[in-house]
């Protein structure tokens, strides 16, 4: 009795289409079987003579895998096993549920070197450049090194980039390697993913990450999963980059933060730079990485100036947080634009409450540098997370989970998350300010975990 649907456990023999003594060939119809869903025809897969029909027409509730007929060579003696033991349909495998390995983020792909810190970098440029220029320079440097690297997106070529991040690239590398696409995210994202499967190294610019939702099936179902689904054969070396989160008064559809969305997906790496310095080091690692990388920039930070390391091989490893400021009283874990607000808050907390704040800039969101976070919490015993994401299931939510699990005994107060408001982004300037995390929100959270009234 064949299983004719994933859920069928027994079937009824509606009709025999063969009789004893018939010769059947592979592909011939032999019976009609009534399943839990419908009546279906069954074909023979072997050749031979029908030696016996083991059930009569109309017999019901025959278990799946029970022999219903014997087809074979009449000259060979066949043992008729009508009551043959039913083979177990699904061979269950005992999987040892090892909590440590099942729920831990695997770290075997992380380079085990610490993040370079700007304070200790002896190779800093004397001039300060903008984040926009740092990103542009890094792309150009990598395109000079490897002609498999190319860039595509809306307005990246002739217009020089909607936010001027690709300025001058068309002039240097030509239209074969700097491609303006139509407003067609689903299509050109799939195209870029196909190109990466075939060995190119695309940098795909989303004019903003809000538009990546048009293409999210290709990012998750195709780019992130194919290495796994192909048993390790086909990797996807692609960088999806562009501004993420709120700009200024562009309202609900153009102000979303996608950091926790993409960080939820195994197969993706997610990076969120906060300064020109780390933007350079992290983008280089992203372009060199053999996996799909989501590179979340911030429009407001494009004009932020700072020194950089101009070595064309300078990189910051993916998966490493940076301790932006050391402190002993309280840890703030943050990333992207909220680093600036966290630093401002730390200054005021020192002045007004004499709190010595440690600030961790995550830099990479997936894989998350849990070690740096845990070590800091073990030292300060207090933690707040600061990010622009909506609160439900945010990066801070995951950090709170990890910290309560692995550093429970070190905590002197509950972890507090500072997020955007749990509503769509409003347009009005006054409401937009209320929506986003502000320095005062961070200060209030810090006071709360420090039990300061």
Partner 1 sequence: MKKLQKADYIKMYSFMLKIRRFEERAAQLYGMGKIGGFCHLYIGQEAVVVGILMTIDKNDSVVTTYRDHGHMIARGLDPKRIMAELTGREDGYSAGKGGSMHMFSKENNFYGGHGIVGAQVPIGTGIAFTHKYNGEKNICRTYIGDGAMNNGQVFEAFNLAALWKLPVLYIIENNKYGMGTSVDRAAAGLDLYKRGEAFGIPGEKVDGMNVFAVIEAADKAGKYVREGNGPYILEVQTYRYRGHSMSDPAKYRTKEELDNYKQTDPIEIVKAEILKKKIATNDEIEKINKDTLEEIKKAAEFATNSPFPKDSELYTDVYL
Of 304, 300, 204, nearest in space to 255 by CA: 300
Tokens standing for residue 178? 């700097």
By three-state DSSP, how is residue 384 classified? strand
Would you say the C-alpha torsion 212, 387, 109, 114 has a positive or negative sign?
A: positive
- Phi then psi for residue 47, to 5 deg, are -100, 155
Q: Which residue in 191, 300, 421, 434 binds partner 1 (CB under 8 A)?
A: 191
Tokens standing for residue 118? 């700007």
Q: Is 368 in the site for partner 1 (CB under 8 A)?
A: no
Chain residues 31-70 in contact with partner 1, contact rule CB under 8 A = 35, 37-40, 42-43, 45-47, 64-65
Least distance in angstroms from the C-beta of 245 to partner 1: 26
- Backbone Cα Rg of the chain: 30
Piece of 12-20, 218-226, 278-286, 376-384 that binds partner 1 (CB under 8 A): 218-226
Q: Tokens 């695309």 sit at which residue?
A: 202
Say if residues 84 and 69 touch (Cβ distance below 8 Å). Answer: no
Q: Which residue in 57, 59, 146, 217 binds partner 1 (CB under 8 A)?
A: 217
Q: Is 189 in the site for partner 1 (CB under 8 A)?
A: yes
Q: Is 109 in the site for partner 1 (CB under 8 A)?
A: yes
Piece of 73-81, 158-166, 186-194, 271-279 that binds partner 1 (CB under 8 A): 186-194
47 labelled catalytic: no
Q: Which residue in 242, 267, 306, 437 binds partner 1 (CB under 8 A)?
A: 267
Q: Toward partner 1, which CB reaches closer, 123 or 221?
A: 221
Least distance in angstroms from the C-beta of 115 to partner 1: 19
Cα 93 off chain centre by: 29
Instruction: Report the C-alpha gap between 376 and 323 in whole angstroms.
Output: 9
Give me the catalytic one of 141, 142, 154, 185.
185
Say if residues 136 and 166 touch (Cβ distance below 8 Å). Answer: yes
Least distance in angstroms from the C-beta of 79 to partner 1: 19
Q: Toward partner 1, which CB reaches closer, 56 or 88?
A: 88
Q: Toward partner 1, which CB reaches closer, 1 or 170?
A: 1
Q: Which residue in 61, 75, 101, 122 binds partner 1 (CB under 8 A)?
A: 101
Instruction: Report the C-alpha gap between 150 and 166 in whole angstroms.
Output: 11
Q: Which residue in 15, 26, 174, 433 binds partner 1 (CB under 8 A)?
A: 26
Per-residue mark of binding to partner 1, 226-265 (x: CB under 8 A): xxxxxxxxxx------------------------------
From the number of C-beta atoms within 10 Å of its C-beta (0-12, 13-18, 19+), residue 278 rates as: buried
Q: Is 197 in the site for partner 1 (CB under 8 A)?
A: yes
185 labelled catalytic: yes
Give me the catalytic one of 10, 32, 254, 344.
254
- Please list the alpha-helical segments (H only) found in 218-292: 226-229, 259-263, 276-288
The DSSP bridge pattern shows strands 23-24 and 48-53 to be antiparallel
Instruction: Report the C-alpha gap between 453 and 450 in whole angstroms.
Output: 9
Q: Is 89 in the site for partner 1 (CB under 8 A)?
A: yes
Q: Is 291 in the site for partner 1 (CB under 8 A)?
A: yes
Of 398, 394, 446, nearest in space to 420 by CA: 394
Would you say the C-alpha torsion 185, 190, 195, 201 has a positive or negative sign?
A: positive
Question: Packing angle between helix 439-449 and helix 338-353, nearest 10 degrees?
Answer: 50
Q: Is 222 in the site for partner 1 (CB under 8 A)?
A: yes
Q: Which residue in 72, 114, 187, 391 binds partner 1 (CB under 8 A)?
A: 187
Per-residue mark of binding to partner 1, 125-164 (x: CB under 8 A): -------------------------x--------------
Q: Toward partner 1, which CB reaches closer, 56 or 106?
A: 106
Other beta carbons less than 10 A from residue 89's beta carbon: 12
What residues are labeled active site? 185, 254
């Amino acid at each position: 009795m064949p299983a004719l649907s994933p859920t069928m456990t027994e079937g009824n023999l509606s009709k025999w289409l063969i009789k004893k003594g018939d010769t059947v060939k592979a592909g011939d119809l032999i019976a009609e079987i009534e399943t839990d869903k419908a009546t279906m025809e069954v074909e023979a897969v072997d050749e031979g003579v029908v030696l016996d029909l083991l059930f009569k027409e109309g017999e019901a509730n025959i278990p799946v895998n029970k022999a219903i007929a014997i087809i074979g060579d009449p000259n060979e003696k066949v043992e008729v096993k009508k009551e043959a033991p039913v083979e177990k349909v699904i061979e269950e495998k005992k999987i040892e549920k090892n909590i440590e390995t099942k729920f831990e983020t695997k770290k075997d792909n992380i380079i085990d070197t610490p993040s370079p810190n700007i304070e200790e970098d002896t190779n800093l440029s004397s001039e300060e450049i903008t984040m926009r220029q740092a990103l542009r320079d890094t792309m150009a440097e990598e395109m000079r090194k490897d002609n498999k690297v190319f860039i595509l997106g809306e307005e990246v070529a002739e217009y020089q980039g909607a936010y001027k991040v690709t300025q001058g690239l068309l002039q240097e590398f030509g239209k074969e390697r700097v491609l303006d696409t139509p407003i067609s995210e689903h299509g050109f994202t799939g195209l870029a993913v196909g190109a990466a499967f075939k060995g190119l190294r695309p940098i795909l610019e989303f004019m903003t990450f809000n538009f990546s939702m048009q293409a999210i099936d290709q990012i998750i179902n195709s780019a992130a999963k194919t290495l796994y689904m192909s048993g390790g054969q086909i990797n996807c070396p692609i960088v999806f980059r562009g501004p993420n989160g709120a700009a200024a008064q562009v309202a609900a559809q153009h102000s979303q933060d996608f950091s926790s969305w993409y960080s939820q997906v195994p197969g993706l790496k997610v990076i969120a730079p906060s300064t020109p310095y780390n933007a350079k080091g992290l983008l280089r690692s992203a372009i060199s990485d053999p996996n799909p990388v989501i590179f979340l920039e911030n429009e407001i930070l494009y004009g932020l100036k700072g020194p950089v390391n101009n070595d064309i091989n300078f990189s910051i490893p993916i998966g490493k947080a940076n301790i932006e400021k050391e402190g002993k009283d309280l840890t703030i874990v943050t990333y992207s634009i909220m680093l600036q607000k966290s630093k401002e808050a730390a200054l005021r907390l020192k002045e007004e409450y004499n709190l010595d704040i440690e600030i961790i800039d995550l830099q990479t969101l997936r894989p998350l540098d849990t070690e740096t976070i845990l070590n800091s919490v073990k030292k300060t015993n207090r933690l707040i997370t600061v990010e622009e994401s909506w609160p439900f299931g945010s990066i801070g939510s995951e950090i709170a989970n990890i910290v309560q699990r692995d550093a429970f005994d070190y905590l002197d107060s509950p972890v507090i998350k500072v997020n955007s408001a749990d509503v769509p982004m409003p347009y009005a300037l006054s409401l937009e300010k209320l929506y986003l995390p502000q320095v005062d929100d961070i200060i209030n959270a810090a006071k709360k975990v420090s039990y300061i009234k």
